[in-house]
Amino acid sequence: MRLTKNISFKLTRPGRICVFLLVWVPLAAVATVNNFLFIIFGMTLGLALISHHLATRNIRDFSLHRRFPSEIYADVPFAIDYVIQTQDRSFSGAALTFRESAPLSASTESVPLFPDEDTRRVQGSGVFTISRRGDHLIGPGVISSAFPFGLATYSRPCGPQVSVLVFPHIEPGDAHVPVWAASPGKKIERADPFGNVPYQFREYVPGDAYKHIDWKKTARTRRLVTRVLADEGSPEIVITLRREASEKAISKAASLVVHFARSRTPVALAAPGFLIGPGTGGQFAVEALTALARWEKAPRHEMPYSPESGIQVDVQNSGDLFWRSVGFRGARHG
């Protein structure tokens, strides 16, 4: 049943019993002329009226704010924080729950909200997932409460409409990177005696000069380790996609972008008529992930790109990766 200000209510089992008593007790009182039954009727009616007044007051005249994380990935759980604010100092906000609608999905039906006496706010948080990448419009949810006696559940739409961008699903990137293509990182282990040029370390690749092998690290790790300069240790990575890339291919490309951007390896994202990068770091990763999230709307222009030296990763629609080095002696494919 719908009340004023978009508030609706649904009777619970105790509420249906209360309604039955409100109908049966006065009829029985008139039939038997029993004053005690009139007293019971008055008490039941008063209970129903007080419950209705407190319940409607409990879920009206306040605003709810939802705080989404800055980065949301498809099929990856994320938290939404809820804060209820009101100008009424006597507002209690007891026993409130909030239910989201599609495209948000959660393991629980609703999120409980609890009043905070120190801040005079009602707060809570819930964990949700969105299954598809791209721009999504999150509509108002439904706030409800059975306060104070549980005779009925009162609810109303609540919360502003919010637009969120969902990045593609991310998998552990290092699981797809071959050993010879992995970046050794940027940690400075040793300096050149004739200048301040940092060395880096990676696993030995056939063709490396023996004079560049670091025998101390080789003895400690029991694997051949080569000492290389920083610019050689972090070759540029170019990830190529088809314009009509599948969801699996977009997810694999996004995973590689995040992996190499976090390891400070220069990485670029390329497709026919599309190029972004090369770049490094978290800001570039967000820029590339935004383009992948809106892949169908990505700008088309003629900008062919092929690195003079580096590693090119062709992402197939099946999700398979084809790695090849460009401009290096002993080029590798895998």
Which pLDDT tens digit goes with each residue over 156-197? Answer: 998 888 999 999 998 876 666 766 565 544 433 343 433 344
User: What is the pLDDT confidence band of residue 279, given thresholds at 50, 70 and 90?
Assistant: confident
* Residue 306: both structure tokens together: 């092929």
Mean pLDDT of the chain: 79
Least confident of 6-15, 27-36, 218-227: 218-227
pLDDT at 205: 66
In one-letter notation, the amino acid at residue 136 is H
- Kindly report the pTM of this predicted structure: 0.72
pLDDT for the residue 133: 93
Helices (H), 170-242: 215-221, 230-233
Identify the CA nearest to 301 among candidates 278, 270, 279. Answer: 270
Burial class of residue 281, CB neighbours in 10 A (0-12, 13-18, 19+): exposed
**If you average pLDDT over residues 325-330, what whole number do you get?**
52
- The pLDDT of residue 248: 92
Q: Give the per-residue pLDDT at 181.
A: 61
Say whether 161 sits in a helix, a strand or coil. coil
Average pLDDT over residues 203-225: 77
The DSSP H or E segment spanning 56 is helix 35-58
Could you tell me the domains of the chain? 1-167 (2.60.40.10), 169-183+234-334 (no CATH), 186-233 (no CATH)
Mean pLDDT score, 277-301: 84
Which one has a higher pLDDT value, 70 or 190?
70
Enumerate the β-bridge partners of residue 260: none
3-17, 108-122, 137-151: the lowest-pLDDT one: 108-122
Give the number of other CB atoms < 10 A from CB of residue 331. Answer: 10
Please compute the mean of the pLDDT values over residues 45-59 and round it to a whole number.
Answer: 88
- Tokens describing residue 157: 């739409």
Whether 216 has a pLDDT exceeding 90, the answer reads no
The region of weakest confidence among 12-16, 143-147, 204-208, 301-305 is 301-305
**278 preceded by a cis bond (ω within 30 of 0):** yes
pLDDT value, residue 310: 75
Q: What is the mean pLDDT of residues 65-78?
A: 91
Segment 17-41 mean pLDDT: 87
CA quadruple 127, 131, 133, 137: dihedral sign = negative
Q: What is the dihedral of CA 216, 217, 221, 227, to 10 degrees?
A: -140
Q: What is residue 61's predicted lDDT score, i.e. its pLDDT?
A: 77
Strand ranges across the sheet with 72-73: 72-73, 162-167, 134-138
